[in-house]
Chain A
Amino acid sequence: MIVRILGEGQFRVDDDAAAKLTALDKDLDAAVRDGTDAAFSAALHAAVALVQASGVAVADDEFVTADYILPFSDATVDEVRKLLADGAIPGDSIGLP
């Protein structure tokens, strides 16, 4: 499975790590829903550390899309809520109006 950490690129992780990530993702989801920053940071840091430790960076000449995207490692609940709400990504990545 391919996981991107925003700001840090893509990583290929094995099934074992993917299962652990899925569990952490539930914590992330609950923290975003409840607006608890401390719980969110804890789950996010654990997820980022897991991907960094067990994942293998995807080569620069490989064009793949991520199955999962983790927010910036220092992101706040507010920031993630905003991204999820407007879904706005700056920069016209494809060049169409």
Chain B
Amino acid sequence: MSVMKRVSLIFRAKADKALDRMEDPRETLDYSYKQQVEMLTRVRRGVADVATSRKRVELQMNSLQKEIGKRDTQARDALGKGREDLARAALQNKAQLQGQYADLETQFAALQEQEEKLTLASQRLDAKVQTFRTRKETLKATYTAAEAQTRINEAFSGISEEMGDVGLAIQRAEDKTAQMQARAGAIDELLASGALEDHVGGNQDYIQAELDKLGAGTDVDNELARMKNEIAATAPKQIEGNGAAGTGQEAAASEQQAGDGA
């Protein structure tokens, strides 16, 4: 049998099974409505979770972009200092990072698409639930009519299919988000371990270490000069500040003395 027909029968079987077990459709209408509202909450949370994952991937892309830029600078720096071996290493590392970046880009696009679709599904279900809410009151009022029974069944099956669809969509979103979080966690670890960044946890990247050694002499001189300037700029202010406080205290003390005397 055809795939599309089989899938539709699975959905219908679920609704039919529930309908068969209904004793008082009026009560079940209310209970079903409650379930629908819960499903709406779930799908909205699902949208928020996907958005969080998307933002996390975006942050990682920014971090990787910075690293890629750094490797590029290092390569130029190394070439300028005649160290082609270092430049090569930096560029090799850059290519690796670019591969990871491309992977994140794909993930980002997938999450964005999923977020859009889930948002639309949530809006669709919301509209259906609102209609169901008003319709169920009419159905309850006319429940005695045989025609009402048919309409109850229709409304039930219709909303059941929508709920099943949204339920599957949320489950997929949750699965995908979990997968991406695992991968995102791996990249976070990589970033934090110092494999990507310099000077984190004492794990210095060797390209930068070599470049630092080459430029160490001038760097130290520059740093000394900078520190001297900083000290020269802040020192007078501190002395001024202390002086002012001292004068204030003295003034207060002399006022006190004047008061005692009188």
Contact = CB atoms under 8 A, between A and B. Distances in A.
A58 B7 CA distance: 19
Contact of B171 (A26, A62, A65, A90): A90
B5 A63 contact: no
A89 B14 contact: yes
Given A7-B121, A69-B8, A95-B35, A87 B131 contact: no
Given A60-B124, A61-B131, A66-B8, A94 B15 contact: yes
B191 interface: no
A54 to B, nearest CB: 15
A93 B35 contact: yes
B95 interface: no
Contact of B6 (A4, A64, A65, A84): A84
Q: How large is the interface on B (under 10, 10 to 19, 20 to 34, 35 or more residues)?
A: 35 or more
B161 to A, nearest CB: 6
B11 A94 contact: no
B211 interface: no
Interface in A4-31: 4, 6-10, 21-22, 25-26, 28-29
Contacts of B104: none
A48 to B, nearest CB: 11
Contacts of B6: 84
B124 A9 contact: yes
B167 interface: yes
A80 B8 CA distance: 12
B10 A89 contact: yes
B224 interface: no
A59 B253 CA distance: 84
A66 B11 contact: yes
B46 to A, nearest CB: 12
A72 B167 CA distance: 12
Contacts of A3: 4
B3 A61 contact: no
A69 to B, nearest CB: 4
A94 B35 contact: yes
A86 to B, nearest CB: 9
B166 interface: yes
A68 B2 CA distance: 9
Interface string B111-127: 00000011011001001
B18 A93 contact: yes
Contact of B31 (A6, A21, A64, A95): A95
Contacts of B170: 90-91
B127 A61 contact: yes
A32 interface: yes
Interface of A: 3-4, 6-10, 21-22, 25-26, 28-29, 32, 47, 60-72, 80, 83-84, 87, 89-96
Given A29-B2, A94-B14, 18 more contacts: A7-B165, A9-B165, A25-B5, A32-B3, A63-B128, A63-B158, A65-B15, A65-B161, A66-B8, A67-B8, A68-B4, A69-B11, A89-B167, A91-B166, A93-B160, A93-B163, A94-B160, A95-B18
5 A-B pairs with least C-beta separation? A63-B158, A91-B167, A94-B18, A60-B127, A93-B163
